[in-house]
Every structure is written in structure tokens, then in C-alpha cells.
């Protein structure tokens, strides 16, 4: 959602075209509505299938509710014509009471059935939304990195939250109301035409007019609200970026400019809202006017028919009652149609996610990887993120169990890519990655990743306590094991200095911790997981010498006895590696120990020389 694009896709809004205040343009998340599509609807309603049995009483209550609503006006007719003003007879109070009693019973039945229907369809609707959200989330967890490469996190988030929520109304009241309204409309039309064909036809003469007004106005209202949503979504995108980039904003003293930009977006949003809401307000009176016209025709033509003894007063009152019940469903059907179009767009986006297959698929006969020794082999690996732009061009590398490998090279040379392939976040285009002689494509990803640990440069700290964050390495670890791991990597002391020790709450991304502390925490997490192969993306940030020493000590503990791959930046780390692999543009240029490579006087020598000169400058 928050991607900056060089163009805007909004055709309804010219004001969004570059205003000179606008530095960033936010690409709008796909279309808000889509044409109605039966097969997609069927797929959506498939989620209701598990609740078939619970739906039966809901539908029964719907039928009862509709029948009672259709029956009550008929009782008015009979009460007036048979009890209050019977032809040639005097009024009968007992009969009137009987009708009133039946009417009361019907009202109670209607109330009870509506109550039951609303309560239970809401429960079912919530269950369906729960299932859908669950399905989408469990699916996106399986998707490969390629999927996330293509999408900003915001757009993934919006699909799980907004798009799923947009279907909520459809699954709760939407469908049942749609059915009820259709049945009610058809019922009323039939009743009116049967009772008096001509009068029935006359009062419904305004229906086509109502239909035209309703659909054309509704369309405009829909577009106006779409515009509001689009503008709100831009505000959200901007807010998201502003909060995430707050440090940069403050560092570059861009607050004033940022504020101006935000104010502009905010104003545009309020204007759009006012426009949409003014249109909405116009809709009510138009509907009322059309229905008043229908009632006018009813009384004008109805009294004419009464004068000519064609209909009774009771029938006229009954008709007025039916007509009163006629406009609401028509109005609601218009709303429902809007809701359906919005649901179409949301469900299309959700299904697009659900249909996405993990590019790193797992074979059906994938084997479980038994406990490994830790031999790793890259066999003539070619890999490209985008077709035609190889990131690795024929990498071959043999690593014996327990060896430590430092990957060095200029930015973009392919260091992280090697690691991505070893964790099987991507599959190579050519060649194989072997662990203990087994192609990693033949083994289950879970069993692979449980034995290959990774410590990333930007250590992710989850919301929770320090203890929870270390335990993320192995969920069944005891408290004592957590403390032991933290002690081994020299994290225990700083943890104990925190206000609540291991129970100190840290927020998402762990901003309260320093870079070095976060690294030590991630070492403890990795040590707890105890993988045979460990990957380490060393943080580049300069830290004080004392912390550096601590980290080096911690590293020694962490790496002992494991095969390790390090994207190494610190000389101290590189120097001690068993093998140093120098990469350039996806090719291994040099390989050997620190001393061997220095003696060679090649690329590595140049890199080290540059680092020395930089440090002593």
C-alpha cells in the first residue's frame, strides 16, 4: 500500500495528480469493486458449508419472519372488513379482539424469529470470517520469499484485515437479508396483484422510476465513497511510512514539510467525505418522494375504486400497509448490490493470495532430515531473482562439518543470496545444495530449517518479554536453559540490569535495546536452538570495543563445533574463519584462509587494505 510509484492509478481523482506539496505518490491498492462473478461467489460461500446444519434453523426463522410480515397486513384487511365495517352487519368487537389477538401473536412470532435469525447468523458469520482469516494467515506463512519480494508488507496486512473484514457484512446479514427481501418483494407483488390486479399495478407504477433513480444515484454514491476510501488508504499509507521513518524525518528536520503534506491529504479526505455524505443525504428524500408518489396513487385510485364499490376500505388500508413494506427491501437490495461488488473485489484479492503456490514447494515424498553432521556442498549453483539477471553464476563450494566460512565481497556480490539458498528460501535455477550429501530439495523444509539456524543482522525482537524472545529459538526450553544460553553468550549481565530482568517487556523490533544487546539476544536464541549449521549475518554497525569483545567471545561459544557461514564485516571475525570466500558479481573470485589470501595480494588483500586505511585515517 505504501509503495511510492511514479504514477497514480486513481481515475476518479484529479486532485491526486501531483500537487506541488506532494513529494510522494501512493499507489492505490487494486480496485475497490469488481463486477459480479458467480463462480467466485460460489467459492466464497463454500466457507459456509461446514455450518450447513446451523444454517437450517436460521433459514426456517427467516421464512417464519417473512410469512408473518406478509400476513399481518392481511389481518388488517379482514379486521376492518369483517369486524369493524362488515357489509350489511354491525361491528363485532369479539371478532376484532380475535383478529387483534392473532395479530399480537404474529408480531411476537415475528420478533422471536428475527431475534433468533440475527443472533445465529451473526455467530455463523463470525465463524466463517474466523475460518477465512485463519486460512489466509496459515497460507501466507507457507509462501516463499519470492511472494514477499513482490509485495509491500502493508498490502499483505490490508488483505488479512480490511479485505476479510469487508466480507463480514456479507456473511452475517447480507445473504439472509437478500433472501428475505427478495421473498418479501415477490410475496407482496403476488398478494397485491391477486387482491386487486389493477390497483396493484397502479401502485407499482413508480417501481421502475424508483429503480432508475436508485441505481443511478447509488452508483454515484458508491463512487464517492470509493473516493473517500482511496483517500483514507493514502492517509494510512502516509501515516505508516511517517511513523516508520520518524527518525529520518526528525534527523533531516522535515517535520514542517511532512505536516504540510499530511494536512493536504487530510483536507482532501474531508472534502471527499463531505461530498459523499451530501449525496447520501439526498438519497433518503428521493426514496421517500417516490414512495409518497406510490401512496398518492394508491389513495387517489383506491378511493375511486371504493366509490365504485370495487374494493373495500379494509383492502385500501391493507394495500397501504403492504406498500409501506415494499420500499424498504428495494432500498436494501440497492445497498446489498453495492456490498456485493465490494465483496467481489475483496474476495478476488484474498483468493489471489490463497491461490499463490509456494515457489519453494515440498515434494510429497520429502524425507525428514535425520540429525546431521553438518557437511555442506554448493554444486554449480546458478540463481536469479529476476529472469535474465543472475545473482549467482556457477557457485561451487565444499564445506566440511564444523568449519567456519566467512563470505566477503562488495555490496550486491551475492553473499545473502548464498545464505538464502542454504535455508531454502529460494531454489536454485541450476545446480544443487547438499547437506550431508542430500539434496535439500528432497527433504522437508521444516526438518531442514530446524537444523540450520540463522542469526540476521537486523535481529527481530517480538513483543513480549526478554525470556519469550530467547525462547523463540526452542519453545520447550526451560527457564534454566534460557539463562544458561544467555550466560554463555554474555547476555546475562545486561539482562539482569534491565528493570525486570528476563521478564522485561520489549516491544516489536526491540527499540529499547541497543544494537549490541539485540545481537547478543539473538545469539542466545540461536544457541538455545542448537543447530548443526549456523548462518550469521554480522551487523555492520560500529559498536564499542567492549561490546565488540563480548560479541567475539559470544561468537566463539556459539560457533564451537558447528558448521558456520558468516557474512562477515569485522576483521576480527574474518581472520579466524577456516575458509574465506570472496565473491564478486555472483562469482567466487578467491578462496582460502586469511593468511593465504593476504599472501595472494588479490581482491581480499584490497578489501583488508581498504579497511585498515579507513580505520587508521
Q: Count the residues in the chain.
A: 617
For ligand ATP, the closer CB: 138 or 411: 411
For ligand ATP, the closer CB: 183 or 395: 395
Least separation, in Å, of the C-beta of 425 and ligand ATP?
10
Under the binding rule (CB under 6 A), the answer on residue 409 touching ligand ATP is yes
Under the binding rule (CB under 6 A), the answer on residue 516 touching ligand ATP is no
Q: Please, are residues 512 and 486 in contact by the beta-carbon 8 Å criterion?
A: no
Under the binding rule (CB under 6 A), the answer on residue 148 touching ligand ATP is no
Under the binding rule (CB under 6 A), the answer on residue 391 touching ligand ATP is yes
Q: Give dist(CA 237, CA 480) in Å, integer.
A: 44
Under the binding rule (CB under 6 A), the answer on residue 390 touching ligand ATP is no
Segment holding 592, helix H or strand E: strand 587-592
For ligand ATP, the closer CB: 44 or 421: 421
Under the binding rule (CB under 6 A), the answer on residue 545 touching ligand ATP is no
Under the binding rule (CB under 6 A), the answer on residue 149 touching ligand ATP is yes
C-alpha separations of 132 from 51, 164, 281 in Å: 13, 7, 35
- Stretches 153-161, 261-269, 348-356, 405-413: which one binds ligand ATP (CB under 6 A)? 405-413
Least separation, in Å, of the C-beta of 584 and ligand ATP?
9
- Stretches 56-64, 297-305, 344-352, 415-423: which one binds ligand ATP (CB under 6 A)? 415-423
For ligand ATP, the closer CB: 317 or 391: 391
Q: Please, are residues 45 and 37 in contact by the beta-carbon 8 Å criterion?
A: no
3-state secondary structure of 464: strand
For ligand ATP, the closer CB: 334 or 414: 414
Under the binding rule (CB under 6 A), the answer on residue 324 touching ligand ATP is no
Given 386, 476, 546, 595, the residue binding ligand ATP (CB under 6 A): 386
- Stretches 57-65, 242-250, 258-266, 404-412: which one binds ligand ATP (CB under 6 A)? 404-412
For ligand ATP, the closer CB: 229 or 393: 393
| Cell 447480507, located at residue | 174
Under the binding rule (CB under 6 A), the answer on residue 414 touching ligand ATP is yes
Q: Give dist(CA 613, CA 607) in Å, integer.
A: 10
| Residue 537 CB neighbour total at 10 angstroms | 20
Single out the residue of 566, 572, 569 nearest to residue 550, CA to CA. Answer: 572
Under the binding rule (CB under 6 A), the answer on residue 403 touching ligand ATP is no
In the chain, how long is the greatest CA-to-CA distance? Answer: 125
Q: Give dist(CA 562, CA 54) in Å, integer.
A: 56
Size of the site for ligand ATP (CB under 6 A): 12
The 10 Å CB-count burial string (b at 16+, else e) for 188-217 is bbebbeebbeebbebbbebbeebeebbeeb
Given 101, 412, 601, 606, the residue binding ligand ATP (CB under 6 A): 412
Q: Residue 577, class by beta-carbon neighbours within 10 Å (0-12 exposed, 13-18 middle, 19+ buried)?
A: buried
Single out the residue of 507, 479, 483, 481 nearest to residue 495, CA to CA. Answer: 483
Under the binding rule (CB under 6 A), the answer on residue 307 touching ligand ATP is no
Under the binding rule (CB under 6 A), the answer on residue 570 touching ligand ATP is no
Least separation, in Å, of the C-beta of 436 and ligand ATP?
25
For ligand ATP, the closer CB: 409 or 453: 409
For ligand ATP, the closer CB: 221 or 391: 391
Beta strand pairing call for 376-386 and 430-435:
antiparallel
Beta strand pairing call for 563-567 and 404-409:
parallel
Q: Give dist(CA 406, CA 576) in Å, integer.
A: 9
- Stretches 10-18, 178-186, 366-374, 383-391: which one binds ligand ATP (CB under 6 A)? 383-391
Adjacent-strand bridge partners of 581? 407, 591
For ligand ATP, the closer CB: 407 or 513: 407
Least separation, in Å, of the C-beta of 18 and ligand ATP?
28
For ligand ATP, the closer CB: 145 or 337: 145
Under the binding rule (CB under 6 A), the answer on residue 476 touching ligand ATP is no
3-state secondary structure of 245: coil
For ligand ATP, the closer CB: 167 or 422: 422
DSSP label at residue 48 = G
Q: Name 157's Cβ contacts closer than 8 Å, sequence gap at least 6.
A: 1
Residues that bind ligand ATP in the complex, under the rule CB under 6 A: 149, 385-386, 391, 409, 411-417
Amino acid at each position: 500500500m505504501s509503495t511510492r510509484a511514479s504514477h497514480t492509478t486513481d481515475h476518479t481523482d484529479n486532485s491526486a495528480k501531483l500537487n506541488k506539496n506532494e513529494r510522494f505518490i501512493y499507489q492505490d491498492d487494486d480496485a475497490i469493486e469488481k463486477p459480479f462473478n458467480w463462480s467466485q461467489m460460489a467459492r466464497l460461500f463454500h466457507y459456509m458449508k461446514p455450518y450447513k446444519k446451523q444454517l437450517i434453523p436460521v433459514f426456517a426463522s427467516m421464512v417464519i419472519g417473512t410469512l408473518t410480515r406478509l400476513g399481518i397486513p392481511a389481518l388488517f384487511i379482514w379486521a376492518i372488513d369483517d369486524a369493524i365495517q362488515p357489509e350489511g352487519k354491525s361491528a363485532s368487537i369479539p371478532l376484532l379482539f380475535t383478529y387483534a389477538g392473532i395479530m399480537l401473536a404474529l408480531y411476537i412470532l415475528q420478533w422471536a424469529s428475527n431475534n433468533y435469525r440475527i443472533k445465529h447468523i451473526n455467530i455463523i458469520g463470525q465463524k466463517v470470517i474466523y475460518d477465512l482469516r485463519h486460512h489466509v494467515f496459515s497460507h501466507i506463512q507457507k509462501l516463499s520469499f519470492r511472494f514477499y519480494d513482490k509485495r509491500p508488507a502493508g498490502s499483505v496486512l490490508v488483505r488479512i484485515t480490511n479485505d476479510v473484514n469487508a466480507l463480514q457484512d456479507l456473511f452475517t446479514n447480507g445473504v439472509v437479508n437478500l433472501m428475505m427481501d427478495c421473498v418479501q418483494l415477490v410475496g407482496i407483488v403476488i398478494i397485491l396483484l391477486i387482491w386487486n390486479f389493477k390497483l396493484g399495478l397502479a401502485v407499482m407504477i413508480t417501481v421502475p422510476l424508483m429503480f432508475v433513480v436508485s441505481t443511478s444515484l447509488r452508483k454515484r454514491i458508491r463512487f464517492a465513497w470509493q473516493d473517500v476510501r482511496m483517500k483514507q488508504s493514502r492517509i494510512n499509507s502516509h501515516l505508516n511510512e511517517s511513523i516508520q521513518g520518524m527518525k529520518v524525518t526528525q534527523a533531516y528536520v522535515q517535520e514542517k514539510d511532512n505536516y504540510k503534506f499530511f494536512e493536504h491529504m487530510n483536507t482532501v479526505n474531508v472534502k471527499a467525505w463531505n461530498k459523499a455524505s451530501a449525496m447520501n443525504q439526498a438519497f433518503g428524500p428521493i426514496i421517500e418522494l417516490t414512495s409518497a408518489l406510490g401512496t398518492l396513487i394508491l389513495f387517489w385510485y383506491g378511493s375511486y375504486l371504493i366509490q365504485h364499490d370495487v374494493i373495500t376500505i379494509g383492502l385500501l388500508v391493507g394495500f397501504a400497509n403492504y406498500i409501506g413494506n415494499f420500499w424498504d427491501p428495494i432500498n436494501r437490495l440497492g445497498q446489498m448490490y453495492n456490498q456485493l461488488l465490494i465483496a467481489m473485489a475483496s474476495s478476488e484479492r484474498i483468493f489471489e493470495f490463497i491461490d499463490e503456490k509456494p515457489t519453494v514447494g515440498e515434494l510429497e515424498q520429502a524425507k525428514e532430515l535425520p540429525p546431521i553432521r553438518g557437511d555442506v556442498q554448493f554444486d554449480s549453483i546458478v540463481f536469479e531473482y529476476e529472469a535474465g539477471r543472475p545473482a549467482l553464476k556457477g557457485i561451487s563450494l565444499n564445506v566440511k562439518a564444523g568449519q567456519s566460512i566467512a563470505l566477503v565481497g562488495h555490496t550486491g556480490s551475492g553473499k545473502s543470496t548464498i545464505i538464502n539458498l542454504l535455508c531454502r528460501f529460494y531454489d536454485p535455477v541450476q545446480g544443487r545444495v547438499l547437506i550431508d550429501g542430500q539434496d535439500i530439495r528432497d527433504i522437508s523444509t521444516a526438518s531442514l530449517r530446524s537444523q540450520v539456524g540463522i542469526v540476521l543482522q537486523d535481529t527481530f525482537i517480538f513483543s513480549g518479554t526478554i525470556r519469550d524472545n530467547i525462547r523463540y529459538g526452542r519453545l520447550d526450553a526451560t527457564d534454566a536453559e534460557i539463562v544458561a544460553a544467555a550466560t554463555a553468550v554474555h547476555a546475562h549481565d545486561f539482562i539482569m540490569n534491565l528493570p525486570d530482568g528476563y521478564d522485561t517487556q520489549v516491544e516489536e523490533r526491540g527499540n529499547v535495546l541497543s544494537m549490541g544487546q539485540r545481537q547478543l539476544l539473538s545469539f542466545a536464541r540461536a544457541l538455545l536452538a542448537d543447530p548443526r549449521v549456523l548462518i550469521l549475518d554480522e551487523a555492520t554497525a560500529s559498536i564499542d570495543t567492549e561490546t565488540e569483545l563480548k560479541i567475539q567471545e559470544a561468537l566463539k561459544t556459539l560457533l564451537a563445533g558447528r558448521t558456520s557461514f558468516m557474512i562477515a564485516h569485522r576483521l576480527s571475525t574474518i581472520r579466524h574463519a577456516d575458509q574465506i570466500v570472496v565473491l564478486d558479481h555472483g562469482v567466487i573470485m578467491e578462496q582460502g584462509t586469511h593468511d593465504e589470501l593476504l599472501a595472494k595480494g588479490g581482491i581480499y588483500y584490497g578489501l583488508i587494505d581498504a579497511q585498515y586505511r579507513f580505520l587508521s585515517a
